[in-house]
Structure 1
Amino acid sequence: MQLDLMVPGLPLRQATELARDAASAGMAGVVVTETGRTAYLTCAALALAGEPLDILTGIAVAFPRSPMVTAQVAWELAEASGGRFRLGLGSQVRAHIERRFGMPYDPPGPRMREYLLALRAAFRAFRGEEPLSFEGRYWSLRLLPAAWSPGPIAVPDPPVDLAAVNPWMLRLAGELADGVHVHPLNTEPYLRETVLPALAEGAARAGRQVADLTVICPAFVAAGDRPGQVERWWERARAQVAFYGSTPNYRFLFEQLGRPEVPERIRARQKAGDLAGMAKEVDDELLEQFCVAGDWASVADALRARYGGVASRVVSYFAGQAWLEDRRALGPWGELARALAG
């Protein structure tokens, strides 16, 4: 089991510093999210640092970009990283796609299916395996003169991973993607009752098994060996669970835990502008379902118990934030990475 750290898009000079520190600590890779800054430029800076790190977008937003644009960027990042780049894509939510990016969103599932197929067609055309010829309902890619093609690269095509929450998108990931980005709001029942069966169903459509996929699971980890450390990250996890729990699409995760009333209470607090109150709706018993906590040794055992047999890669939701606050913070995370890899 590999351990990665998660960061948002960073100022580019800061990204090169992170690459050096993460590699020195012994982390397996860096997963870059896309919020205010693009994920791809941060990935480029990480790649050019030349460190032996896997570099993943987790995720880059698909729909605002043509599949050709995404394919070209992923192709260059695969080459720059020496084949260590993984392209993680997600649909985001309707409000962001339509109101922030000004692009169409519906229907997200079929649109994403076509997007993945268009990417593969572009990769084949870049290698000269076949002319570019993709005709779909949402995208049409039919023109790629030699002067406009990036041409073959000396590393394999970048793996394409898909962010998926509901069974439909999980089945799509199992069928067409190389891996899946599980949502940070995950629990053991969700992983074993929803994620694995849906991935298996999708993989079977393509004559594959779940073992053929890279399953990437973010984890809320509250760890430390000094007074106050565990509590600090425990409370941050509580706030994040409340934030995600306010989204109606994630209600079913709470239903699986027998706590269907919690999302409604969180949303009521949110509507009242009571942000602190939102977190208070996530009690300790519930938070234990979403967050692993303890000293470093016990956290390693807990991560193995929760994600063993499910995840190929575990992504620390908080290690990147710890580094942003203190560049010396990655040492224990690197030790945890080595423990999980062993």
Structure 2
Amino acid sequence: MQIDVMILPQPLGKVGDLARRTQAAGFSGLLFTEAGRTAYLNAAIASQAAPGLELSTGVAVAFPRSPFVTAATAWELQEASAGNFRLGLGTQVRTHVVRRYGAAFDHPGPRLRDYVLAVKACFAAFRTGKLDHHGEFYDLDFITPQWSAGPIDAPDPKVDVAAVNPWMLRMAGEVADGVHVHPLGEPGYLTRHVVPRVAEGAKKAGRSPSDIAIIVPAMTIVGDSDEERSRERDFVRASMSFYGSTPNYAFIWDEAGFEGTTARIRERQKAGDFAGMAAQITDEHLAAFATESTWDQLADKLIDKYGGVASRVVLYNAIGDPERFERYGEIAQQIRSSRSR
């Protein structure tokens, strides 16, 4: 089980130092999510600043970029990182894709499936000079030497997808190399949905479920005093209320025994009451969906919670205070060494 750090992309001048600190602290890799800044440029700088550090987009928005553009970018990052790059893709939600990016969003699940296959066809074309993908949404069959990146001395990048509902999880098992679990992915959801649905997709494609990485973000509340943990609780409440406001994710709360959580969050959201949104996340929510611990118990708690299920655990809130970042790095080293024995 590898331990990564999740980070929003930073101003480019800060990324090199962050990548070196991440590597020196003992983390497996650095995962760039995407918001106002793009993930790919940050990954490029990190690849040069910290050779050997594993890098991934978690996740980059797919549809506003053509599959060929995404494939070419991932190919260069795989070469620059000496084979240590994973391409993580997601659909985002309709409002962002249509109204912010000006891109098509219809049939997002099948579209993303076709997108992944198109990206992999582009990888093959860079090696062979022949591009031949004909799917429901993307037709790609023209490439010339001057418009091809050409072969690289590294395997094709792994392509991971963000998935929440059963159809998307099966699709990930069928065509992707890994699945990015939603930040609300508590252990019950992993065992009820993620593991069996990914396995179904893998079986359909004649693949082994063990070949598909399960990448799980973990929200942690850690400290040796209640005062220290209290600050973390406030951050995690706000984060959970943000993610939990999306109607498509309501079933995760409901199945965990917290029926109506999304409706209550959305009521406060519509009123512009962000503090009220966070207040809907109770201590019981935190106990189920986050990992709370003292520092000396955190490694064991994460292993107990995610061992045997997660291929990679991504620490959601490790970035911040430099001293805490170093302590999280020590936890990452403990987990990695315990799993190698």
Query: Which residue identity lines up with residue 44 of structure 1 in the other structure?
Result: A
Answer whether contact 1:57 1:89 (CA < 8 A) is retained.
Answer: yes
Query: Which residue identity lines up with residue 330 of structure 2 in the other structure?
Result: E
Instruction: Give me the whole-angstrom Cα distance separating, in 2, the residues matched to 1:80 and 1:244.
Output: 33
Deviation at 1:51, TM superposition (A): 3.1
Question: What is the aligned partner in structure 2 of residue 167 from structure 1?
Answer: 166
Instruction: Give me the whole-angstrom Cα distance separating, in 1, the residues matched to 2:152 and 2:17.
Output: 27
Question: What is the aligned partner in structure 2 of residue 308 from structure 1?
Answer: 307
Instruction: Give me the whole-angstrom Cα distance separating, in 2, the residues matched to 1:55 and 1:248.
Output: 31
Query: Which residue identity lines up with residue 228 of structure 1 in the other structure?
Result: E
Deviation at 1:229, TM superposition (A): 2.2
Query: Which residue identity lines up with residue 196 of structure 1 in the other structure?
Result: V
Question: What is the aligned partner in structure 1 of residue 85 from structure 2?
Answer: 85
Instruction: Give me the whole-angstrom Cα distance separating, in 1, the residues matched to 2:236 and 2:221.
Output: 8
Instruction: Give me the whole-angstrom Cα distance separating, in 1, the residues matched to 2:186 and 2:194.
Output: 10
Is 2:98 the partner of 1:103?
no
Query: Which residue identity lines up with residue 138 of structure 2 in the other structure?
Result: W
Q: What SS is found at the alignment partner of 1:185?
A: coil
Query: Which residue identity lines up with residue 167 of structure 1 in the other structure?
Result: P
Deviation at 1:264, TM superposition (A): 1.3
Count, aligned residues: 337
Deviation at 1:239, TM superposition (A): 1.1
Query: Which residue identity lines up with residue 230 of structure 1 in the other structure?
Result: R
Deviation at 1:155, TM superposition (A): 0.5
Please give the per-residue CA displacement for 1:282-325, whole angstroms capped at 9, x wherever unaligned: 110121111101112222122112111110100000012x2xxx
Q: What SS is found at the alignment partner of 1:153?
A: coil
Query: Which residue identity lines up with residue 123 of structure 1 in the other structure?
Result: F
Question: What is the aligned partner in structure 2 of residue 34 from structure 1?
Answer: 34
Question: What is the aligned partner in structure 1 of residue 24 from structure 2?
Answer: 24
Deviation at 1:200, TM superposition (A): 0.7
TM-score, length-scaled by structure 1: 0.96
Deviation at 1:92, TM superposition (A): 0.5
Question: What is the aligned partner in structure 2 of residue 280 from structure 1?
Answer: 279
Answer whether contact 2:3 2:29 (CA < 8 A) is retained.
Answer: yes
Deviation at 1:222, TM superposition (A): 1.1
Matches within 5 A, 1:147-186: 147-186=146-185
Matches within 5 A, 1:105-254: 105-128=105-128, 131-225=130-224, 228-254=227-253
Instruction: Give me the whole-angstrom Cα distance separating, in 1, the residues matched to 2:3 and 2:227.
Output: 24
Matches within 5 A, 1:296-335: 296-320=295-319, 322=320, 326-335=321-330
Question: What is the aligned partner in structure 1 of residue 49 from structure 2?
Answer: 49
Query: Which residue identity lines up with residue 256 of structure 2 in the other structure?
Result: L
Deviation at 1:329, TM superposition (A): 3.4
Unaligned runs of 5+ in 1: none
Question: What is the aligned partner in structure 2 of residue 4 from structure 1?
Answer: 4
Answer whether contact 2:52 2:82 (CA < 8 A) is retained.
Answer: no
Instruction: Give me the whole-angstrom Cα distance separating, in 1, the residues matched to 2:175 and 2:145.
Output: 28
Please give the per-residue CA displacement for 1:92-138, whole angstroms capped at 9, x wherever unaligned: 1000000000011010011011101111111111011x611212232
Deviation at 1:328, TM superposition (A): 4.1
Instruction: Give me the whole-angstrom Cα distance separating, in 2, the residues matched to 1:14 and 1:224.
Output: 27
Give the % identical residues. Answer: 51
Is 2:57 the partner of 1:62?
no
Instruction: Give me the whole-angstrom Cα distance separating, in 2, the residues matched to 1:334 and 1:62.
Output: 31
Instruction: Give me the whole-angstrom Cα distance separating, in 2, the residues matched to 1:192 and 1:236.
Output: 26
Answer whether contact 1:19 1:51 (CA < 8 A) is retained.
Answer: no
Q: What SS is found at the alignment partner of 1:228?
A: helix
Instruction: Give me the whole-angstrom Cα distance separating, in 2, the residues matched to 1:52 and 1:27.
Output: 11
Instruction: Give me the whole-angstrom Cα distance separating, in 2, the residues matched to 1:246 and 1:162.
Output: 21
After superposing on structure 2, the runs of 4+ consecutive aligned residues of structure 1 that deviate more than 3 Å are: 326-329
Q: What SS is found at the alignment partner of 2:162?
A: strand
Deviation at 1:70, TM superposition (A): 0.3
Question: What is the aligned partner in structure 1 of residue 334 from structure 2?
Answer: 339
Deviation at 1:338, TM superposition (A): 1.0
Instruction: Give me the whole-angstrom Cα distance separating, in 2, the residues matched to 1:275 and 1:76.
Output: 41
